[in-house]
Amino acid sequence: MKEWRSNDGRLLSYLDAGSGPPLVLLHGWAMSSAVFAEAVAELSDEYRVLAPDLPGHGRSTPGVDYSLDTLAGNLLRWMESLDLSDIRLLGWSLGGQIALRLATLTGARLSRLLLVATTPRFVAEGEWIHGLPDGQVRIMARGLKRRFANTLDDFFAQQFGADELSEDRRRNIWQQFAPTVMPPQQEAALAALETLRGSDLRQSLQNLSLPTLVMHGTEDAIIPHAAGRYLAEHLPRGRFETMAGLGHAPFLSRPQESFLLWREFCRI
């Protein structure tokens, strides 16, 4: 792991492997860069793969503000400090929302955008039916306060269907990637969940002209498949890839298939 310090002294920890065009991977809520360990090992033969820990996640210092603007702005300063350009930027779930916001701040530095299990609006409201009920998210927040580790494990379990993984693969994933292996700070998890609950990126999609791959499992129980389709249809250069029979983390369920798709899109 490498470290970068912001002007206020906060630490951002990140994986950095390989050489070539930069490929930046942003993890999801309550996770860390560790979830991309297999992707880093697979793709670092062709790309310089960088995977930061979001504030309060992994080994990074907690933040004071978990809004998308602040999270994206901090990552932009980190990328500028490394003088990264021609970046392939991939975001998973919350990381996808941050990637969308980051793309509006620094489109000139990016050449490709990849969004995995991402939605412009996490919570259902009004005509937007492709999200979780607000009450369910509130219950989850209460669970984080009362049964933190159990709530994280429950959330991780929802990312995979009953028959999606072999028993060996399921055991391996839990041992390596479950959020309780390297849990986030409780305050960071709560604040980031509130960011998911309140953010709405629908109005900004039409302004993003980057070639964008939207990848979504048909059995995603966290973010409905229809939310990913909406995202791809409303991005000017969006391309939708359905992962049949998979849930919220297709790159863990079918890593080789996912990495091949990412590699091919990044070469276009």
As beta bridge partners, residue 4 has 12
From 60, 130, 199, 220, the catalytic residue: 220
Catalytic site includes residue 27: no
- The amino acid at residue 129 is I
For residues 181 and 217, the model is more confident at 217
Single out the catalytic residue among 93, 199, 253, 258: 93
DSSP code string of 210-258: S-EEEEEETT-SSS-HHHHHHHHHHSTTEEEEEETT--S-HHHHSHHHH
Residue 93 known to be catalytic = yes
Is residue 168 annotated as a catalytic residue, yes or no? no
What gap in Å lies between CA 195 and CA 142, rounded to an integer?
A: 15
Backbone angles phi, psi at 241, to 5 degrees: -120, 115
Residue 109: band (very low, low, confident or very high) from pLDDT cuts 50, 70, 90: confident
- What residues contact residue 79 under an 8 Å CB cut-off, 6+ apart? 24, 87, 106, 109
For residue 182, which phi and psi values (nearest 5 degrees)?
-140, 75
Percentage of the chain modeled with pLDDT above 90: 91
What is the tens place of the pLDDT at every residue in 57-86? Answer: 999 999 989 999 999 999 999 999 999 999
Superfamily, domain 2-267: Alpha/Beta hydrolase fold, catalytic domain (3.40.50.1820)
CA gap 90, 53 in Å, rounded = 14
pTM above 0.85, yes or no: yes
Q: Where are the beta strands (DSSP E) in the chain?
A: 2-5, 11-17, 22-26, 48-52, 87-92, 110-116, 212-217, 238-243
Question: Six-digit token pair at 75?
Answer: 């990552």
Catalytic residue among 27, 57, 216, 248: 248
| Domain spans of the chain, in order of start | 2-267
